[in-house]
Structure 1
């Protein structure tokens, strides 16, 4: 079974931390390249096109204005990401966004949603993260937009961002599955519940196991599904992945994360990917970047499975 919808991957660097509360994620794309991302994908039989880095405004490092930090700069970066990701999808390529902070998912996922609307595909988004990122300016005092992308994609936020792809909302909450969540603000939690977002938090994974969580998150995929994975590196436990700006203890272990990625690969529906919030300034000799590359290899088909035939899973 193929592991992705395309055999050609386009790497798109977006070196900015304009939506984050800590500096350093702007160095993430280069850290992933240094860790051998392109070579690892090529080893899985994938054709890799490295498009280099997008360009956008510098991080002005200013306090929030009217509830948002750096709104103009975030909009500029996300417009660039949107156009770059959409162009690759139109060429039949699998875009891999190298962040940068998680606000960039507004651009990438709105582009994927636009592509799916045009092609008649069903979109499913897997949000691998320690945080729900479902804040609004009313719910968070920081105004950091990297805590708001899922809400924005679902139509809650500044009009310029909610309409990036020409249609708002870009996503319905029913299209999103969040995995690994373990840090949610009280107001944000109420909003998540009100919008009926499907969340497989760490309590659920502790009780039911990663396999069951992923079976639920992947249920209902079919040959017409485009699967987008938004991989925030702080999804991982900080004991194995210290190089992020917002560490939250108690995340997935190495093996749990590998199982998560291998089960996604098993679907054969991966069509686009974000790798975000890698912060080399807080890392240990690029350890977290190397781990991220290792996990992405599994996402593209590298497996520890020794059985000759995969056991059919029930959904």
Structure 2
């Protein structure tokens, strides 16, 4: 009998015998795949797939006996623990009770290219002892929670969101494994900052990637993300969101385009997504904003509200 092969961890899980336990999937298609599962006690033999998979335990209290790529281990988990499965390895896992997990799968072909840095080295995505047991990391926990929250707000993660979050998580894994990336010093050169911002403004409607912005600055995506934040004050994704909201405001003020058309014009998949982003940063819906800016009395109140928000809040 021919053993089926799978191109990704998520594909195997969704097409295999445990598909019924999948609660949520969010995917960028080739960059980052997020999946939430809730399962009873189980024994699993994962096929070798070309993904590095980080599992986050939401519940805790289950016993696990596994080989995830660096030798067999036994552990009892606590809420917030991580497990890391090596790529291209047939994992063997036995879990003794109900468990609730969020998994992030990194396709290794993409991430090796993304993390490659001529001035540093290409990541092997081999994390040694991290594959042999549970571990904790406040940085990774915060990053994955924020990633999941933003995906809930905006739908499937954008390339920029997925790549930036992935770089942050993988950098911390390298640090925990004892092979940290060289630190980036200082911000972007003025010419590089200008070219990156110009590219964002010219392609607001596109699903632009961190790798494309980094290429404009002639840097690796990993170093670019940190240097951009040093120069501009916020991460690339937050700055792009700011540009999109500003453009949406202009279109609401000066055109009669529908909110759906404006959403597409500034790079959001639907009017619902734009509304969630807009309410978060403008404290009102796009429709209410349009009414306010076209009513002189309400416009005065809007201007006061905008001044208060800009003084107290920076998008993350």
Larger radius of gyration: 2
Greater relative contact order: 1 or 2 (C-alpha under 8 angstroms, separation 6 or more)?
1
Q: Same fold (TM over 0.5)?
A: no
Question: Which TM-score applies when normalising by structure 1?
Answer: 0.24
TM-score by length of 2: 0.24
